[in-house]
């Protein structure tokens, strides 16, 4: 992929769109409790809602220990800044890939733009895009939105963009693997095959990381995801 500046905005070239699938669009609701999507008039829990509700005790304790260590007020500030930066980075990437010129000259906008550019610089194998910000649902079990679906290294791929405060170890981002698996299952059920997943991540200081889920890893996490979903819906029935 090539990034080109035109006057006061940027565009991305060296890839093409193919409207291979007629993707549905589901409405997200963040204002009435845990995040849900409206799918065929039903409120369906989001992938992130299920992940949050079924967190392991070890992860909960680790997050609590971090909040205590840095202080709850500072922890909230860090979380809010990261979420804002991630939203802006996603917005930059979405506009670029859709051929919409965009340039946010604020300090936060500049940081997110640099992060987005770093991700684009590492997406050369992405030559074909089927959809951006694609809504996906698996019956009334779960729903969500993935950043990109297309061909990466000539394989049908689910792609998610992530921001981070620091470089990650693979064992720290297992929830991202679950997300990819959930989207993959929904896509396979409703549209077509997925052969791999890609997590394209950039830190706030511009360091890029890429985590590729081959077909074996994808199948492993698809199986484990069903266990998380079963746990979530059992918890919901018992509440």
pLDDT of residue 237: 66
Tokens 């819906």 sit at which residue? 233
Pairwise pLDDT comparison (89 vs 103), residue with the higher score: 89
Q: Estimate the crossing angle of helix 107-121 against helix 72-97, to 10 degrees.
A: 60
CATH topology of domain 17-238: Lambda Exonuclease; Chain A (3.90.320)
pLDDT of residue 25: 95
pLDDT tens-digit readout, 105-154: 777 788 898 999 999 999 999 999 999 999 999 999 999 999 999 999 99
pLDDT of residue 235: 84
pLDDT tens-digit readout, 149-194: 999 999 999 999 999 999 999 999 999 999 999 999 999 999 999 9
pLDDT tens-digit readout, 12-61: 877 899 999 999 999 999 888 899 999 998 999 999 999 999 988 788 78
pLDDT band at 79 (very low <50, low <70, confident <90, very high): confident
Whole-number percent of the chain with pLDDT over 90: 64
Are residues 226 and 207 in contact, defined by beta-carbon separation less than 8 angstroms?
A: no
Average pLDDT over residues 217-223: 97
Judged against a pLDDT cut of 90, whether residue 97 lies above it is answered with no
Which of 90, 35, 54 lies closest to 234 in space, CA to CA?
54
Q: Residue length, the chain? A: 239
* Rounded distance between C-alpha atoms, residue 64 and residue 82, angstroms: 18
The pTM for the full model equals: 0.91
DSSP three-state, residue 38: strand
Q: Where are the domains of the chain?
A: 17-238
pLDDT tens-digit readout, 192-203: 999 999 999 999
pLDDT band at 67 (very low <50, low <70, confident <90, very high): confident
């Amino acid at each position: 992929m090539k990034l080109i500046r035109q006057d006061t905005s940027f565009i991305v070239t060296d890839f093409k769109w193919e409207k291979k699938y007629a993707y549905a669009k589901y409405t997200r609701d963040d204002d009435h409790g845990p995040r849900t999507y409206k799918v065929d008039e039903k409120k369906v829990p989001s992938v992130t809602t299920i992940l949050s509700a079924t967190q392991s005790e070890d992860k909960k304790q680790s997050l609590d220990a971090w909040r205590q260590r840095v202080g709850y007020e500072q922890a909230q500030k860090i979380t809010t800044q990261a979420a804002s930066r991630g939203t802006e980075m996603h917005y930059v990437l979405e506009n670029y890939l859709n051929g919409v010129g965009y340039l946010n000259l604020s300090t936060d906008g500049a940081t997110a733009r640099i992060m987005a550019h770093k991700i684009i610089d590492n997406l050369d194998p992405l030559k074909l895009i089927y959809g951006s910000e694609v809504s996906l649902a698996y019956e009334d079990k779960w729903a969500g939105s993935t950043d990109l679906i297309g061909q990466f290294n000539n394989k049908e791929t689910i792609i998610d963009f992530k921001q981070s405060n620091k470089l990650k170890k693979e064992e720290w981002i297992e929830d991202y693997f679950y997300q990819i698996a959930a989207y993959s299952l929904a896509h396979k059920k409703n549209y077509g095959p997925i052969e791999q997943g890609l997590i394209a991540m950039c830190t706030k200081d511009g360091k890029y990381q890429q985590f590729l889920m081959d077909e074996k890893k994808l199948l492993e996490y698809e199986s484990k995801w069903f266990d998380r979903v079963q746990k979530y819906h059992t918890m919901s029935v018992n509440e």
